Amino acid sequence: MFKLKPLVLALGLATALSGPVIAQNLFAPVATVNDSVVSEFELQQRVRFLKILNARGGTRKAALESLINERLRGEAIRDAGLTLTEEGINEGLEEFAGRANLSRAEFTKALGRAGVEPETFRDFVINGIAWRDLIRARYGSRVSISEAEIDRALASQSAGGSNIRVLVSEIIIPAPPPRAAQVAAIAEQIADSKTTAEFSGYARKYSATATRPNGGRLPWQALSDLPPALQPLILSLAPGEVSEPLSIPNAVALFQLRDIEETGRPAKTYSAIEYAAYYMAGGRSEETLQQAANLRAEVDVCDDLYTFAKGQPDSVLDRETLPPAKIPRDIAFELSKLDEGEVSTALTRSNGQALVFLMLCGRTAEQNAEVSREAVAASIRQRRLSGFADSLLSELRSEARIVLK
């Protein structure tokens, strides 16, 4: 279960929020945004909230920028006459709390023990929901995805058609329940990466994959080798852009597209992929990772794993042969990076307590594969709406009267 208090202690929050800040007048304005005031109390609350989540923006400067942007978004929302239903608000609060595997009430109580008022949590979530609704209402009709655009995105899946290769960087951050909210906040920061160097820096710091030392950079690979659910997501990105955080079992994944090219070679697709997953107690502990490294040196094919699983419960070893679309997304992505007989140790199960020693046994080729046209269109639409949102906020800031106290 997610326990906030140890996290607060680990971050040294008591020290961070003590001293001169406590002595300040909590009702004193720290900034004005047009006719709205941002108070010292709000700023302290936002800093505390972000520090609890271990967000990179948990500084006074970044928190103040966040509050100023929220004031501007709030004005635009009110000018548009947009209001949220209480049901919609409650759903948003429950969804946010659910990222930490807690109910809204449990999450609010945990925040309260760390000194964060319920209104701070509520205002943060409401502003985000209402802003997304405003952007959809204001710009949704301008985002028209043509059939030709979808066709181009799906070109690599056409029988006998040319193949698309992509250069992708990856970050997979372990997120067992005690760290779920903390990791979610980190992932949101990573999603805002503006350069490949920034994304790679995050990969070296947080990622659990074998590409971590290389900044998460993967070599060129055929788009068709990626899991079907991931292909439209990658296609929706422009070079340099980062995907929204993806929740996978006990982890969060992010991807950055570095480059894309079309080749003259037919795309390879597969009707089935065979793999083995050997579950090792201890999760990502140093001892278990070393055991996995030792095991990797001793096995050449999937059949070798039966020797090591002998005498243990049947549940410690799974061997599956499945269509690509039926393979769990996190496993499918790891398999896409492997050749036959290669191993990944990036994933965990059982709330992070079991390390997955994942081995590719083989692939069965197929002439063609399907990618959902609806999924491709949705990904392109979301990217364009995000661009409109960024442009509108920049416009609001340029026209606002912002005074720092």
Co-location of 30 and 119 in the same domain:
yes
Predicted confidence at residue 13, as pLDDT, reads 38
pLDDT band at 256 (very low <50, low <70, confident <90, very high): very high
Co-location of 336 and 380 in the same domain:
no
Residue 286 lies in a domain: yes
CA distance 176 to 185: 14
CA distance 174 to 255: 15
**The domain spanning residue 258 has which CATH number?**
3.10.50.40
**The domain spanning residue 72 has which CATH number?**
1.10.4030.10
58-117 residue pLDDT tens: 688 888 999 999 999 999 999 999 989 998 899 889 888 876 667 889 889 989 988 999
Co-location of 201 and 336 in the same domain:
no
pLDDT band at 238 (very low <50, low <70, confident <90, very high): confident
pLDDT band at 264 (very low <50, low <70, confident <90, very high): low
Question: Between these two residues, 9 and 306, which has the higher pLDDT value?
Answer: 306
Residue 398: exposure state from Cβ atoms within 10 A (0-12, 13-18, ≥19): exposed
Predicted confidence at residue 156, as pLDDT, reads 43
For residue 299, pLDDT over 50 is answered with yes
What DSSP element (H or E) covers 247? strand 246-248
Kindly report the average pLDDT of the chain as a whole number.
84
Residue 251 lies in a domain: yes
Nearest to 35 by CA among 391, 403, 398: 403
Predicted confidence at residue 126, as pLDDT, reads 93
For residue 240, pLDDT over 70 is answered with yes
Co-location of 25 and 106 in the same domain:
yes
CA 119 to chain centre: 26
Phi, psi (deg, nearest 5) at residue 182: -60, -45
DSSP letters spanning 66-97: HHHHHHHHHHHHHHTT----HHHHHHHHHHHH
Question: Between these two residues, 198 and 23, which has the higher pLDDT value?
Answer: 198
Co-location of 239 and 273 in the same domain:
no
Rg over alpha carbons for the chain, rounded to the nearest Å, is 24
Q: In the chain, how many domains are there?
A: 3
Tell me the pTM: 0.48
Co-location of 229 and 321 in the same domain:
no
Predicted confidence at residue 257, as pLDDT, reads 93
Mark residue 350 as left, alpha or beta (left: phi above 0; alpha: psi -120 to 50; beta: remaining).
Answer: left
CA distance 216 to 213: 7
For residue 2, pLDDT over 50 is answered with no
Domain extent for 9? 4-141
CA distance 73 to 272: 48
DSSP letters spanning 282-327: TTT-HHHHHHHHHHHTT-SSGGGHHHHHTTS-GGGEEEEEE-GGGS
For residue 388, pLDDT over 70 is answered with yes
Predicted confidence at residue 405, as pLDDT, reads 84
Predicted confidence at residue 97, as pLDDT, reads 82
Question: Between these two residues, 8 and 99, which has the higher pLDDT value?
Answer: 99
Cβ-contact 48, 12 below 8 angstroms: no
Predicted confidence at residue 145, as pLDDT, reads 81
Co-location of 357 and 311 in the same domain:
yes
Predicted confidence at residue 272, as pLDDT, reads 85
Residue 146 lies in a domain: no
